[in-house]
Amino acid sequence: MTTTSDRTAAQPTAAETPEAPETDRLTGPAFVRDAAAAPEALAAPAAPPRPRRVPVGRPDADGAPRVDVPALHHLLLGRWPQWRQAARDRAADPDFWKDESLSMAEHRERTLEQLRRLAQEGSHQVWLAFPERLGGGEAPGANLAGFEELTVADPSLQIKAGVQWGLFASAILHLGTPEQQDRWLPGAMDLSVPGAFAMTETGHGSDVAAIGTTATYDPQTQEFVIHTPFRAAWKDYLGNAAAHATAATVFAQLVTNGVNHGVHCFYVPVRDAGTMEFLPGVGGEDDGLKGGLRGVDNGRLHFTRVRVPRENLLARYGQVAEDGTYTSSIDSPGRRFFTMLGSLVQGRVSLDGAASVASKLGLAIAVRYGAERRQFTGASPVEEVVLLDYATHRRRLFPRIAETYAIHFAHDGLLDLFDEVFSGAGDTPENREDLETMAAALKATSTDFALTTLQECREACGGAGFLTENRITSLRHDMDVYATFEGDNTVLLQLVAKRLVGDYARQLGKQVRSGQGMARFVVDQAVDRVLHRTPLKRAAQVLGDVAGGAAEHLLDAATQRELLADRVATKVEEAALALRPAQKADPVTAQRLFDDNQVALVDAARSHAELVRWEAFTAALAKVEDPGTRTVLTWLRDVYALTVIERDLAWFLLHGRLSTQRGRAVAPALEALLARLRPHVLDLVDAWGYGPDHLRAKIASGAEKQRQDEARAYYARQRAEGAAPVSEKALRKQERAARR
């Protein structure tokens, strides 16, 4: 976090403009970190070309700042630029593109074929996260950086790859012992065993602890009996299950010696690899057509007393001895469950990244089209106005560019934390807990954002946006399910809120233990919030507004941070205080209290995600060396802050955090910033680094400009030749004038 006002720092001054020495950018923190992060065992793909040093990024002759696009592009490639770029190069290969003309069955086969190609490339693509002794790279962060870029080729490819390597193989990796890894990982890695990740059941989605499938140990035969006791316990929505899986990692209630030890994972062969027929006792169904991701063969599986050897329990966190005795290194069944599930957090992390990628693609297409498309005449009677020059169009798209940058920078932080935990460099319980909370908060909000953004982009392109050839609807269809898989977004936000409230309670506990006493604390808080803080703040604001202008204050980073951080703290505190009586209440009252505060809890979690993103964006500004780029990005960060504030403006007003006067300044300040950003938006979307082979949208190809130029040239020629018919309107005007 930066605590100085980066706004001041971002103003390009004469002292800052001289060109920095050539080496500075190339040996800066980002590159140093890259080198440290690249595992030696890995032959990394060639590094992407170094950014051109072009004389941009500094003020124009007229003093306007410019974005240094290559340098910004490089910054955005992040900590593992070579892996991210390699995946983008892969995604630019037509063999990996989504083919919209295929039937569901054909699309599924094509995607499987693409997976085979990825598997052949092994550690250069999809084995990065696996143990070196098995040919992997043990580079979990680099793996995800590349993996999420597969979205650019075809989200079906990303998700089917995610099922195979991110879920099925990862379950073996994270829940299995080294011996089990040696036995089953090679087949999972090289795709000789396509696998399903059989966790979700028709009757239970996000509530995994309540699944119905049982795995009962039979000491007579030393086998587990996998059984589906009723229809709702069928495994459902499983990628690879409808057609391609020959094995599955099956989650089931482990029962031994009459005791249910909770959910554990088992390696279960499901189909004969030769005939592709289900093995005895296994059955299933095809989920059929879906709203998107038609290249993924989702399906259902059920088990009728299917026996697997005792050794097929993935035994890292829980073991069953020959006689049925259960042991675990984690004493608490609850903590054990969350540890097992937590090891699968990478799905959520990668969906946050995929959502960021999809938002960028949609916005890049809509902005390119909006920069060329003309509609209606404005000030000029003959020249039509480019869409981006309409205030409504800017309002639709630009705040979303800002939010996408915020999502991007926060995701970079999430990847860092993920890599720290899963590389073992910082695998502490605190880091794991932070990672889970952050992944839940970011995934839940960025996937929602991607959907509304793609929709806004599609509508901003009019009828052209609806054509599949322009890509946006296709992306949106595929991204739709991201809102509910790997954890339903609403459930995830409840999880985040629970953590925030828990942290608050712990902090409260400390205060109480330090002798201040509970009642005192609660009263203090209430008084602080309701009596002192609110009116005082408001009064101070009025004075400030008179002196310095409301808009200026809103553009101060310290003000933004205070507004956003205080909002989270207040929402969490209010919820925590409201929930306090639940601890001592009967279950019905407790449930009612929880229910009464559920909407507020989810809201608090969303605010938390926004704060995390604001902090990440602000921290990233400090990494930008070029002053022009930093100025424009600071405007963009301000747009993000004002967008977040405007979205929740009623809250700030109701809680006295913004005066009416300052509240009124939000919209005009935002619109002024959007107008100021207008000359830079193409640079800002270009810096994401997606070219024509990534965007693959006809309207983003320059065709619209060609059409518009042709039309304007036609009319200009007509006017020049005097060949244009007189308009009746003009004629009547002349007649009226003549009559006078």
Neighbours of 729 (CB within 10 A): 8
Q: Between 506 and 714, name the residue whose CB sits nearer to a copy of itself.
A: 714
- The tokens for 172 are 């073996």
* Sequence-separated (6 or more) residues with CB below 8 Å from residue 103: none
Minimal distance, residue 205 CB to a copy of itself, in Å: 5
For the purposes of burial, counting CB atoms within 10 Å of the CB of 676, is it exposed (0-12), middle (13-18) or buried (19 or more)?
Answer: middle
Asked if residue 344 lies in contact with residue 138, where contact means CB atoms within 8 angstroms, the answer is no
Residues 49, 690: Cα–Cα separation, whole Å: 15
The residue behind tokens 């005066």 is 659
Q: For the chain, how long is the longest CA-to-CA vector?
A: 111
How many C-alpha atoms does 482 have within 13 Å on its Cβ side?
Answer: 38
Q: Is the dihedral of CA 663, 644, 540, 548 positive or negative?
A: negative
The residues that bridge with 264 in the sheet, in sequence order, are: 252
Q: Between 525 and 598, name the residue whose CB sits nearer to a copy of itself.
A: 598
| Phi, psi of 331, rounded to the nearest 5 degrees | -70, -45
| Phi, psi of 51, rounded to the nearest 5 degrees | -60, 135
Minimal distance, residue 352 CB to a copy of itself, in Å: 17
Q: Between 231 and 506, name the residue whose CB sits nearer to a copy of itself.
A: 231
DSSP string for residues in 161-221: HIIIIIIIHHHHHHHS-HHHHHHHHHHHHTTSS-EEEE--BTTBSS-GGG---EEEEETTT
Q: Between 253 and 634, name the residue whose CB sits nearer to a copy of itself.
A: 253
DSSP string for residues in 389-454: GSHHHHHHHHHHHHHHHHHHHHHHHHHHHHHHHHTSTT--HHHHHHHHHHHHHHHHHHHHHHHHHH
Q: Is the dihedral of CA 580, 582, 584, 589 positive or negative?
A: positive
Q: Between 11 and 468, name the residue whose CB sits nearer to a copy of itself.
A: 468
Neighbours of 637 (CB within 10 A): 28
- The tokens for 72 are 């910004």
DSSP string for residues in 676-705: HHGGGHHHHHHTT---HHHH--GGGTTHHH
The residue behind tokens 């030890």 is 261
Gyration radius of the chain's alpha carbons: 29
Q: Between 209 and 279, name the residue whose CB sits nearer to a copy of itself.
A: 209
Q: Between 51 and 502, name the residue whose CB sits nearer to a copy of itself.
A: 502
Minimal distance, residue 380 CB to a copy of itself, in Å: 7
Amino acid at 377: T
- The tokens for 702 are 């320059």
Minimal distance, residue 47 CB to a copy of itself, in Å: 38
Residues 410, 34: Cα–Cα separation, whole Å: 18
Minimal distance, residue 602 CB to a copy of itself, in Å: 6
| Phi, psi of 594, rounded to the nearest 5 degrees | -60, -45
* 284 DSSP 8-state letter: E
Minimal distance, residue 357 CB to a copy of itself, in Å: 19
Pairing of strands 247-256, 235-238: unpaired
Q: Between 16 and 488, name the residue whose CB sits nearer to a copy of itself.
A: 488
Q: Between 141 and 166, name the residue whose CB sits nearer to a copy of itself.
A: 166
DSSP string for residues in 544-578: HHHHH-HHHHHT-HHHHHHHHHHHHHHHHHHHHHH
List the one residue out of 291, 399, 273, 472 whose CA is nearest residue 666: 399
Residues 676, 665: Cα–Cα separation, whole Å: 16
CA 279 from chain centre, in angstroms, equals: 38
Minimal distance, residue 656 CB to a copy of itself, in Å: 8
Q: Between 311 and 488, name the residue whose CB sits nearer to a copy of itself.
A: 488
Minimal distance, residue 261 CB to a copy of itself, in Å: 5
Minimal distance, residue 25 CB to a copy of itself, in Å: 38
Q: Between 494 and 629, name the residue whose CB sits nearer to a copy of itself.
A: 494
Minimal distance, residue 80 CB to a copy of itself, in Å: 31
* 584 DSSP 8-state letter: G
Q: Between 145 and 644, name the residue whose CB sits nearer to a copy of itself.
A: 644
Q: Between 61 and 588, name the residue whose CB sits nearer to a copy of itself.
A: 588
Minimal distance, residue 209 CB to a copy of itself, in Å: 9
Q: Between 259 and 540, name the residue whose CB sits nearer to a copy of itself.
A: 259
List C-alpha distances in Å: 386 to 204, 569, 701: 50, 43, 16
Q: Between 430 and 595, name the residue whose CB sits nearer to a copy of itself.
A: 595
Minimal distance, residue 660 CB to a copy of itself, in Å: 6
Minimal distance, residue 249 CB to a copy of itself, in Å: 18
Minimal distance, residue 333 CB to a copy of itself, in Å: 5
Q: Between 190 and 671, name the residue whose CB sits nearer to a copy of itself.
A: 671
